[in-house]
Amino acid sequence: MKKTIASSSSTIPILILFSTFIVIFLFCFEIGNNGNSNVMGQTFDKAIFFPQVNVTDSNNNQNTSLDEEFIVVNTNASNNFQIPIEVANPDFWLTTPFVKLVEGQKYTVNSPNDEDIKYNNISIKLAPILSVSSDIQNLTDADPENPNDMTLGKPIDIGHYGAVDIGDGYGAKESNSGDSSNSNSNNKSFLMPTNLKSGNYILYVYLQYPYGITGVFSNAATVTGLDKK
């Protein structure tokens, strides 16, 4: 008798689990075959699409891309207080060719701003690579945000620019603290400082959007003196 009771009681949870699985399967099947299943994804009218970002020099000897490394999202933790959250791009890595920068030379960051939601500001920074882990054989194997891979110094401000006046309520008028020769262009030029130490750096380009969103693009860069270019 005890054996029969034990067998019956163990059958009940199996039947419940099987019934639950059937209900979930039918629900998923209905959603997957519903002609309106993608409506929710299509109702967002405030989607940010990041542009392709690259760096060229005045002689057009290089056209080096910067990849999206991470996104910074400013969240409202409380009244008048924001906590930035970094959303990493799992597909990011440093790619060759690296950017070549010579002291005193002019370079241009090309970053189209023709989507519905446009970025308001651009910031360009250089962070010196102070050391690289002995386990890293090539810079392409290193993650700039991982302190176990490399140690970065304090970022150096290279330029800050305001986006052009786009007239649709999303953007901001031009406010340029860099090279004023391209104040009405989405391509921002900058002059390399002449007091930098030669070596390897990480070049960062920050595209600051409305709604507290900043796209951060980067790649490794080699800085040399004018006499060593």
Q: Which carries the bigger pLDDT value, residue 128 or residue 47? A: 128
The whole-number pLDDT of residue 34 equals 44
- Domain segments of the chain: what residues? 2-39, 49-228
Q: In the structure encoding, which two tokens stand for residue 44, read together? A: 């967002």
Spatial distance between the Cα atoms of 50 and 180, rounded to a whole number of angstroms: 24
| Cα angle value 136/142/143 (rounded, 5°) | 150
Cβ(179)–Cβ(161) below 8 Å = no
The whole-number pLDDT of residue 163 equals 62
User: Mean pLDDT across the stretch 11-28?
Assistant: 38
Banded model confidence at residue 164, pLDDT cuts 50, 70, 90 = low
The whole-number pLDDT of residue 44 equals 65
Cβ(142)–Cβ(136) below 8 Å = yes
The whole-number pLDDT of residue 6 equals 42
Sort strands 99-102 and 156-162 into parallel, antiparallel or unpaired. Answer: unpaired
CATH number of 49-228: 2.70.50
Q: Which carries the bigger pLDDT value, residue 63 or residue 166? A: 63
User: Mean pLDDT across the stretch 169-198?
Assistant: 61
Share of the chain above pLDDT 90, in %: 48
The whole-number pLDDT of residue 115 equals 85
Q: Which carries the bigger pLDDT value, residue 132 or residue 83? A: 132
pLDDT reading at 121 higher than 70: yes
> Residue 58 — φ and ψ, nearest 5°?
-65, -20
Banded model confidence at residue 83, pLDDT cuts 50, 70, 90 = confident
> Residue 213 — φ and ψ, nearest 5°?
-110, 130
The whole-number pLDDT of residue 162 equals 83
Tell me the pLDDT tens digit for each residue of 188-207.
Answer: 889 999 999 999 999 999 99
Give the helix/strand (H/E) hosting 118.
Answer: none
Query: Does the global pTM surpass 0.95?
Result: no
The whole-number pLDDT of residue 17 equals 39
The whole-number pLDDT of residue 60 equals 75
